[in-house]
Amino acid sequence: MPDLPLILRGVPDPMIVIGADGLITDMNPAARDLFGDWALGRDHGAVLRQPPVLAAIAAVLGGEGEGHADFTRTQRGRDVLYRVTITRLTEGAGLLHFADVTHIGEAEEMRRGFVANVSHELRSPLTALMGFIETLRGPARDDPEARMRFLDIMEEEAQRMNRLVSDLLSLARVEGTERQRPAHPVDLRGVLEGVAATLKGQAEAQGAKLEITGETPAPIPGDRDQLTQVFVNLTENALKYGGPNRPVTLALSEAAAGPGFRHPHLRVDVIDRGAGIEPAHLPRLTERFYRVDSHRSRAMGGTGLGLAIVKHILNRHQGKLTIRSRTGEGSVFSVFLPKGSAD
C-alpha cells in the first residue's frame, strides 16, 4: 500500500501503523506529537500499554475485523479521551486511528451532574411534602392549628418546586435560541425603568432605594423580554443580598470599548452595598445550581439558575457579564451589550 504514508500525513488525527511483527512501522505527525518520535519502531504494547486497547488490537489483527477501544492520555495536566478505531490492513498488520472524544465525555458528565442536581433540588421539597401529608393524615388530623401551619409550609415547598420548574423551562428556551441573534430595536433605559417599576414593591418592603442613573441611549438590537429577564434577575439579587435600607443602583453608560468588544457598547452596572462575595466564588457564580450559601439562597427563593440564565441570554446578544465584589462593601454586576452587530 505505497500511498498509505502520504495519506496518513494528510490526516489531522493521530494514526499509527502496526506491522505483522507488532512493531510500529509508521506514524503521522499528529501521532508523533502524541507519543513522541521514540515510539517509531517500538513494540506497540510498550507504547500503548492500556489493556483494553491492546486486547482490541489483538482481536482485530487476529481476524475479527474492525474494533474499537478507549484510550486515555494526560496532556498538559488534563486527561484526554481518545476513541481508537483499529482496522486490519494485511495479515497480522493494522491501522490505528485516534479520535479525541473528550468533549463528548465532558458533555455527558455535565448532563449527569445536571440531572443529579435537578433530582436533588426536587427531592428535598417533595420529601417535605410527603412528610407533612403523612402527619396530616395521622397525628395532626384533628389539630386545626397544626394543619394550617403545615399547609402553609406545604404551599411554600410547592412554590419552590414551581420556581425551579419555571427556571428550568426558561433555561431550556434560552439555550434553544442562543444561536439566533435578536435584531429588534430595544430601548435599554425603558427596560431598566420597567424593571424598577416591577421591583418597586420589593424594594420598598426592604426600605431600599432603587435608582437609575445615566443618559438615554439610542436603541440597540435585542430581545426586550430576555433583556428584561436579565435585569430583573440581577436587580432582584441585588435587593436580596444588598440588605435592608441599602440603595441599589442601575448605572447606564456608553463606552467605546469593553471586554471582548472592538466597537461601541452599552454598559449597565447593577450595584449593591451588601456584604459582598468572597473572591473564590466569583468565577463559578454563573454555573447551574452554584450557590455561595445554599441555605440562605433557598430561604430567599433562589433556584441556583438565575445567573446561568443571564449568561445564556447575554451570549445570544453577544454580550458579556463581569462581576466585581469586595467583602463588606458590596458587588457590581456589569452587563456589556454591543450597540450594533458584534463580531
Coil, helix or strand at residue 129: helix
Tell me the three cell numbers of residue 185.
430595536
Kindly state which CATH superfamily the domain 4-100 is placed in: PAS domain (3.30.450.20)
CATH number of 103-176: 1.10.287.130
Residue range 181-343 forms a domain whose CATH class is alpha beta
pLDDT score recorded for residue 342: 41
Q: Which residue has the cell 453577544?
A: 318
pTM beyond 0.75, yes or no: no
Tell which wins on pLDDT, 190 or 169.
190
Cα dihedral angle (198, 201, 206, 210), rounded to 10 degrees?
50
pLDDT in tens, 74-86: 887 778 889 999 9
Burial per residue of 109-144, b for 16 or more beta-carbon CB atoms within 10 angstroms, e otherwise: eeeeeeeebbeebeeebeebbeebeeebeeebeeee
Residues 262, 230: Cα–Cα separation, whole Å? 23
In this prediction, residues 299-328 reach a mean pLDDT of 85
How long a stretch of residues is the chain?
Answer: 343
pLDDT score recorded for residue 275: 86
Cα dihedral angle (335, 336, 339, 340), rounded to 10 degrees?
-110
The DSSP secondary structure of 170-181, one letter per residue, reads HHHHHHHTTTS-
pLDDT score recorded for residue 3: 58
pLDDT score recorded for residue 1: 46
Counting DSSP H helices and E strands in the chain, the numbers are 11, 12
In this prediction, residues 245-274 reach a mean pLDDT of 86
Beta strand 184-186 with 24-27: parallel, antiparallel or unpaired?
A: unpaired
pLDDT band at 258 (very low <50, low <70, confident <90, very high): low
The yes-or-no verdict on residue 61 having pLDDT over 90 is: no
In the chain, domain spans: 4-100, 103-176, 181-343
φ and ψ of 263, to 5 deg: -125, 165
Tell which wins on pLDDT, 299 or 80.
80
**Residue 74's beta-bridge partner residues?**
79
Q: What are the start-end ranges of the E strands in the chain? A: 15-18, 24-27, 67-75, 78-88, 94-100, 184-186, 210-213, 220-222, 248-255, 265-271, 320-326, 330-338
Per the CB < 8 A criterion, the answer to whether 230 and 312 are in contact is no
Beta strand 94-100 with 15-18: parallel, antiparallel or unpaired?
A: antiparallel
pLDDT band at 163 (very low <50, low <70, confident <90, very high): confident
Q: Do 103-176 and 181-343 agree at the fold level?
A: no
In this prediction, residues 313-330 reach a mean pLDDT of 91
Residue 59 burial by Cβ neighbours in a 10 Å radius (0-12, 13-18, 19+): middle
Coil, helix or strand at residue 240: helix
Residues 6+ apart with CB under 8 A from 321: 286, 307, 310, 311, 314, 333, 334, 335, 336
